[in-house]
Structure 1
């Protein structure tokens, strides 16, 4: 299908500009409210930094992405676009509240599950078996918290969201879904607008309002692609392989060692990279290198060879797991080498 380039480009540009403007205002707001993340043993930054800038991405996406689903052909059902917007707003609202006043786990998780149930129900209505609903709810909640875990150094989550959202937009365009492509591109533009303030050294952090909502949005766009064509799930999941691998293996490792996996820590690979002496920019560059050298080509191969999609996806994650183990060992070696050098 032909895509009206002028209105589509205008909507994507609007998402970028709106994110820029709102994030700039969020910096001033966070300073006035004292919403600052201070350095600490379990944190990777060295100076007090305002948080909550993710509200800029949320507003930019809500102002553009649902409308893209409705205005471009083939238009998505109104109830699905509405559920998408409401679920996004719910996840963002509980994150915004938590950024202001720390909340217990259960209320946050309850709202997140409710948002995923709302979106999953709308996604399943008239198109999918309701047996998929529990998996959609659990998958959405995991994505929300996974991306919250991975928001720990300057620019890394905004960079990842930009990469994955662009990839999802390309997949949607190739599947003949311009409305979905424009909607995902609006997310990418909003992430880029935030990244301008969050790149090393960050002027503001996104906070739970941003990290959790980005996790939901990436899940939602992946699920929408899956509804269009089940085979598109594999390249979409490959695009997120760096974050899924790091978060999953880190939490599994902590669980097997008997540690409280749900508490703050510095055990993710990106944190080990910084602890071993890399800057935030260098740590983020390692993830970007994986995305460009491995994830993007393998996602394209999975898309180009749909019959082999799940196999290529499994191979991707096996390679990612091996790379994670080797990188962790390298970081430990660097830390030990530095310590022995200082001692001598």
Structure 2
């Protein structure tokens, strides 16, 4: 218990101290997100605060692996740390000056590939590699896409990190449980600076890294017990559905899906409510009232887990389509400003 509290406090304090420093650093380097047509904030706000989460996890992951029972092989830990460094460096570069999409995607695929190979080395068939590459790259990018209003991604990282920690603990994986809990503690520290109105944004260095860690911890759970994949996916349902349906809609309409825009449901809701906090509450409501209990149901009834997961994602898609259509009907003129 003391060890657990110690690592959680370490993750929280390291993040908090580094985020405070990142605010001053961003102001000195001019790393400010300015208000604009494709942004959802009104004041110039520093970015790059996610570096605090990255450093905290780089410190805590080895310590947790060495000190907690059921530690993962050193090769898996090394693969995860290397992947985290690669994704963070690409994001840090992009936060300072725009990094073209191909080098950024290349770094992400290399990172996911390194981690996936370390995971597959335990005896899994190699044909899983393309699926892991796709899942990891999408997790990195969808978390980046969903980091567009104050507090939302930090809140999601707390919820998903905590949920994955519970699943890992139930699967007798204390080291993995503590690692996921450290992610939640680190996100909580960052959230103290990112809650509306935000003092600093996570930036690509943080959003991509959170996406990688969510993917990695979920994949590690799947490696322990394949049935645990379904409750893990349910925990991420709100983000996965919003990002995926928005991307498919933009691609179907022939738009540049990779360019900045404000067409995600959470962005429409923020404009409609004129509040980031209310949107955070809405997504938290889905997580607590739908995702959490149904993730538990999928965990406790593994034979029905796939059907439950499909039902959650279908329900989330229906809610997304209903709300998006209703918002477009009420404010058709606003759609003209987000079609790039």
Q: TM-score category by the smaller chain?
A: over 0.9
Q: Does 1:238 align with 2:234?
A: yes
Quick one: which of 304, 311, 317 aligns to 2:307?
311
Q: Does 1:90 align with 2:86?
A: yes
Offset, 1:336 = 6.0
Quick one: which of 246, 252, 267 aligns to 1:250?
246
Q: C-alpha distance in 1, partners of 2:143/2:316?
A: 17
RMSD of aligned C-alpha atoms?
1.3
Q: C-alpha distance in 2, partners of 1:190/1:295?
A: 22
Partner of 2:282: 286
Partner of 2:111: 115
Q: C-alpha distance in 2, partners of 1:326/1:257?
A: 19
Offset, 1:334 = 4.3
For normalisation by structure 1, the TM-score amounts to 0.95
The DSSP-based 3-state class of the residue aligned with 1:242 is helix
The DSSP-based 3-state class of the residue aligned with 2:72 is coil
Partner of 2:65: 69
* Contact 1:113-1:141 at 8 Å conserved across structures: yes
Deviation string, structure 1 residues 82-109 (Cα, Å, up to 9, x no partner): 1111110110011001111111111111
Offset, 1:259 = 1.4
Q: Does 1:185 align with 2:175?
A: no
Q: Does 1:201 align with 2:197?
A: yes
* Contiguous gaps of at least 5 residues in structure 1: 339-344
Moved more, 198-207 or 329-338: 329-338
Change (3 A) 1:251 1:336: closer
Moved more, 39-48 or 60-69: 60-69
Partner of 2:338: none
Deviation string, structure 1 residues 242-283 (Cα, Å, up to 9, x no partner): 000000001111111121111111100000001213400001
Q: C-alpha distance in 2, partners of 1:38/1:234?
A: 39
Quick one: which of 195, 200, 222 aligns to 1:226?
222
Provide the aligned length of Structure 1 versus Structure 2.
Answer: 334
Partner of 1:30: 26
Q: C-alpha distance in 2, partners of 1:331/1:243?
A: 19
Partner of 1:341: none
4+ residue stretches of structure 1 with deviation over 2 A? 329-338
Deviation string, structure 1 residues 284-317 (Cα, Å, up to 9, x no partner): 1110000001000110000000000101000000
Q: Does 1:135 align with 2:143?
A: no
For normalisation by structure 2, the TM-score amounts to 0.96
Offset, 1:337 = 11
Offset, 1:67 = 2.3
* Contact 1:66-1:84 at 8 Å conserved across structures: no
Partner of 1:342: none
Q: Does 1:300 align with 2:296?
A: yes
Q: C-alpha distance in 1, partners of 2:172/2:278?
A: 37
Q: C-alpha distance in 2, partners of 1:99/1:251?
A: 22
Change (3 A) 1:332 1:84: same
Partner of 2:337: none
The DSSP-based 3-state class of the residue aligned with 1:250 is helix
Offset, 1:69 = 2.3
The DSSP-based 3-state class of the residue aligned with 1:276 is helix
The DSSP-based 3-state class of the residue aligned with 2:273 is coil
Quick one: which of 322, 327, 331 aligns to 1:331?
327
Moved more, 12-21 or 71-80: 71-80
Moved more, 127-136 or 172-181: 127-136
Q: C-alpha distance in 1, partners of 2:125/2:62?
A: 24
Partner of 2:50: 54
Offset, 1:127 = 3.2
Offset, 1:183 = 0.6
